[in-house]
Amino acid sequence: MPAVNAWAAFIRFGGDVPLDLSDVALHLPRPPGQPARMSEILFHYYRVNPTTWFYLSSLLAITVFFKFNRVWSVRNFDLAGLLLFAPGLLAVEYGGFKANIAAQQLGFVWLFVITGLFTVRMLCDSLMVRRPLLEPNLTSGGLAFLGLSLLVFLLANVLTSRPDRDDLAAATTAAKLESGDAEVDADQLARLGPGYPLLFLLPHISTQQIFATDTANPSGGDAADPPARIVHETTARGMAILSQLLIVSGMIVVGWRHFESTKLGIAAAVLYLLLPYTAIMTGRVDHALPGALLVWAIAAYRRPAVAGGLIGLAIGIIYYPVFLLPLWCSFYWERGVRRFVGGMTATLAALVVGLWFTSPSLAIFSEQLRQMFGWIFPSEVSLEGFWAFPAYDPVFRLPVLAAFLVMMATLAMWPSPKHLGTLMSCTTAVLLGSQFWKAHNGGLFLAWFLPLLLLVVFRPNLENRVALRVLDEDWFPSRRRQRDGLSDVA
């Protein structure tokens, strides 16, 4: 039967298609309810393979951002490190598809090595006082056009992709627990990891894969998907697109408002869109949404209540930003800490109320609340990824966690006082450090720290942006200015 379909497609397109079933499938009529593929919108469009995209995007990134007149500059080393994340990601995906444990282990070790180098780089960033302006090798107009083009193609991949069986696994488990069809099991919740339970209902959207898979009917049942699944897939696509737009726009706003250079913000956003990781994980809401919230928290740092609300939302969604609280409270300690804590508390309370109204029973609500705040002992966590391999004893994860907590406490006290530059670099260091002990595929969640890391790479000197100098004393600065103006007139 596949041969008949291949021959029919061959005749239909006048012999102008390759006789490969993975390619011929692109030209066959799609089942009802399946989104249109790019090959149906643009004739004979084929999505770029992630490995090919790694080579092409690396050459383009070097062309635009490499400083050929200063080969040994820190900027060039940062660019090389950013590009070196891709081989680890590709090795993990290759090992997962081929069931090659050795390749997966090599990929995770590679990612941890690069993550460790950038952790040291972020810890030393506050010591780099001299920060010469190293602009990209392209004008602002060229950067904007390149970034817009990349964004359109990446978001088009999200719209035209469907989740496969592996992408639906976590969403299926979360849906059963949410509806109460399955008995509340702590082990099932542990396998999903800490985070907001409603977020796990959204399937993953794999926008690029090394090996093509048949996603026409991932459930293996009828061609028509259940209405709930269609709603969840549509919601996942919409949230992934919105998250990527928020990341890009937030980086541009930070460059415009706080770096006083829109070109630097655009350059950081373009490099983010160029990296192979972004092309592979464009549709992962659990990757992109926390990153978007953290970028906008930096953009709104002059409004402690707003920044606290965004940090609180990130904590409620994915839990791990909770380790940023000592650092951010230290930054706002001289002024604004109460507003920051108030905004964070209000957001977390709203998420808990929303969880209460969507939980079918008190038992499920209590377990989901436990999952949201990560109330589980490290020894009871269900491990996935690096720490699940037989070659690595999970007991060694505990000293790594202890070292992370020491680093977190140290960054809360040093350096003091903190300015915007140290807040950005230390925030990135904490998010980088969380990857080493994260129980569920730690090392793969680059979007949590990647936008902030790029902003640190491109940032100018920000030593004058301290809370005591740039923040207002009141909750409502506009009312205070109005009151002060009236008193001066009187």
Judged by phi (left if over 0) then psi (alpha if -120 to 50, else beta), residue 375 lies in beta
Residue with tokens 């670099």: 425
Residue-level pLDDT at 25? 42
| pLDDT tens for the chain, residues 1 to 490 | 444 444 344 334 444 444 343 444 444 455 555 555 555 555 666 778 889 999 999 999 999 999 999 889 999 999 999 999 999 999 998 988 887 899 999 999 999 999 999 999 999 998 887 888 788 999 999 999 999 999 999 998 898 887 766 666 666 666 665 665 555 445 555 667 788 988 887 888 878 776 655 444 444 444 456 677 788 788 889 999 999 999 999 999 999 999 999 999 999 999 999 999 999 999 899 999 999 999 999 999 999 999 999 999 999 999 999 999 999 999 999 999 999 999 999 999 999 999 999 888 888 888 889 889 888 777 677 788 899 888 888 889 999 999 999 999 999 998 888 999 999 999 999 999 999 999 889 999 999 999 999 999 999 999 888 888 888 776 665 555 554 554 443 3
Instruction: State the Cα–Cα distance between residues 207 and 428, nearest whole angstrom.
Output: 26
Residue-level pLDDT at 356? 92
Residue-level pLDDT at 2? 43
What is the residue type of 406?
V
Closest by CA position to 38, among listed 153, 165, 209, 151: 153
Cα separation values, 353 from 110, 348, 408, Å: 41, 9, 30
Residue-level pLDDT at 222? 43
Pair 218, 162: CB distance under 8 Å:
yes
Instruction: State the Cα–Cα distance between residues 475 and 219, nearest whole angstrom.
Output: 52
Tokens representing 84 are: 């070196």
Judged by phi (left if over 0) then psi (alpha if -120 to 50, else beta), residue 43 lies in beta
Instruction: Tell me the three state secondary structure of residue 258.
Output: coil
Instruction: State the Cα–Cα distance between residues 350 and 330, nearest whole angstrom.
Output: 25
Tokens representing 205 are: 């959207």
Q: Which residues are CB-contacts of 11 (< 8 A; sequence separation ≥ 6)? A: none
Closest by CA position to 387, among listed 435, 452, 426: 435
Tokens representing 83 are: 């590009």
Q: Which residues are CB-contacts of 65 (< 8 A; sequence separation ≥ 6)? A: 75, 79, 136, 137, 267, 271
Q: Which residues are CB-contacts of 405 (< 8 A; sequence separation ≥ 6)? A: none
Beta carbons within 10 angstroms of residue 293's beta carbon: 25
Residue-level pLDDT at 181? 53
Q: Which helix (H) or strand (E) holds 174?
A: helix 165-179
Beta carbons within 10 angstroms of residue 263's beta carbon: 20
Q: In sequence order, what are the beta bridge partners of 466?
A: 419
Residue-level pLDDT at 464? 87
Q: Is the peptide bond before 417 cis (omega within 30 degrees of 0)?
A: yes
Residue-level pLDDT at 200? 82
Burial zone of 473 (CB within 10 Å; 0-12 exposed, 13-18 middle, 19+ buried): exposed
